[in-house]
Amino acid sequence: MASTLNAAVSLTASKSSSLPATSCAIAPDRIRFAKGAFYYKSNNVVTSRRVVSVRAEVTTTDTPPVKKVEKESKKNEEGVITNKYRPKEPYTGKVLLNTKITADDAPGETWHMVFSHQGEIPYREGQSVGVIADGIDKNGKPHKVRLYSIASSALGDLGNSETVSLCVKRLVYTNDAGEVVKGVCSNFLCDLKPGSDVKLTGPVGKEMLMPKDPNATVIMLATGTGIAPFRSFLWKMFFEKHDDYKASEYSAWLFLGKPNLIFVVVINYLQEFDKMKAKAPENFRVDYAISREQANDKGEKMYIQTRMAQYAPELWELLKKDNTFVYMCGLKGMEKGIDDIMVSLAANDGIDWFDYKKQLKKAEQWNVEVY
């Protein structure tokens, strides 16, 4: 904002004397004349000999404020709802289905569950919901909310936008004292029977939302139950009809890492993926990394980064494109392994991988949700 002070100045002294009225443009913090500077406070200007009365008229010229340019998100965020239901006022849903999807001899149990929400929890692919287990904790307070990635598309497994599905591993372990410890919320969920009530919160999260560009290449990296958000992606892409996502336009590549090939019964995720590949063989690729059952040419266990290393040059070329989006969900440790294979690839092009990854994150092309 520019300010101009137009002043008529007269000098008053003990003797009768005057100066003709003078008009000048001055800065708002000081008055300058040819013979010196007169500093002012309020309406009086103090000089070494006399007081100068200033009668001023201020005119202001407004400069339009600089508008902040809003960054346009590359993700499909339009209309996304978050935190409709909070821990103090959760939504009570009903269990429609809860079934174990791991073989009896698998190391651990994973369950697929479907809850009815009657359209009251309008989530998007890539979001999460919270669950509050029944009962109280050791301090006599209600259990805290636990977040789980949603494993169904926005339409839900029944296609009516009234259900939400989760993929949950039952947490059971032995602590240092030799005691068997059971995770409160995971065991609560895995033990639920159809018809039971379940307290839900959310939906929450925008980190894992699908890209807006239907022509994007979507690379999905999952370990364990980190497959949940990608099942939601893939259902939307290949099992449903949407104007913004058509199987003939985009490309999806899934890397799934597991200790054992455990998704083998009832609701079989692997069979779903096979159907997707058959439906759009040119647009969907899936590679498994089964660490206890597979090895690479060097005899090394097949972790997710080991499998990705077999396609490293191709993956690096994809990461150079501005319509490639990487999503990572699962165990935190896998990110380091992926970094390790990318460092040398980027270096071959004279690029620092970690600096480049920061750029990808800023552009919303590198998305991580690990635990």
Annotated binding site for NADP(+): 149, 169, 225, 291-292, 301, 330-331, 369
Residue ranges for the binding site? 149, 169, 225, 291-292, 301, 330-331, 369
The CB-side HSE value for 327 (13 A sphere, CA atoms) comes to: 30
Rounded CA-CA distance 224/256 in Å is 8
- Annotation marks residue 196 as catalytic: no
- 299 Cβ contact partners less than 8 Å away, ≥ 6 residues apart: none
Rounded CA-CA distance 203/251 in Å is 27
The answer to whether 273 and 280 have CB atoms below 8 angstroms apart is no
User: Which residue out of 149, 152, 153, 165 is catalytically annotated?
Assistant: 149
- Residue among 229, 230, 242, 232 nearest 153 (CA): 232
Rounded CA-CA distance 295/302 in Å is 5
- Annotation marks residue 40 as catalytic: no
- 347 Cβ contact partners less than 8 Å away, ≥ 6 residues apart: 353
- Annotation marks residue 39 as catalytic: no
Rounded CA-CA distance 127/165 in Å is 12
Q: Give SS3 for 2.
A: strand
Query: Which H or E element spans position 189?
Result: helix 184-190
User: Which residue out of 109, 125, 364, 369 is catalytically annotated?
Assistant: 369
- The residues facing 129 across adjacent strands are 148
Rounded CA-CA distance 1/241 in Å is 54
- Annotation marks residue 186 as catalytic: no
The answer to whether 75 and 210 have CB atoms below 8 angstroms apart is yes
The answer to whether 203 and 82 have CB atoms below 8 angstroms apart is yes
User: Which residue out of 17, 53, 300, 371 is catalytically annotated?
Assistant: 371
User: Which residue out of 123, 186, 329, 364 is catalytically annotated?
Assistant: 329
User: Which residue out of 85, 148, 269, 303 is catalytically annotated?
Assistant: 148
- Annotation marks residue 272 as catalytic: no
Catalytic residues, by residue number, are: 148-149, 329, 369, 371
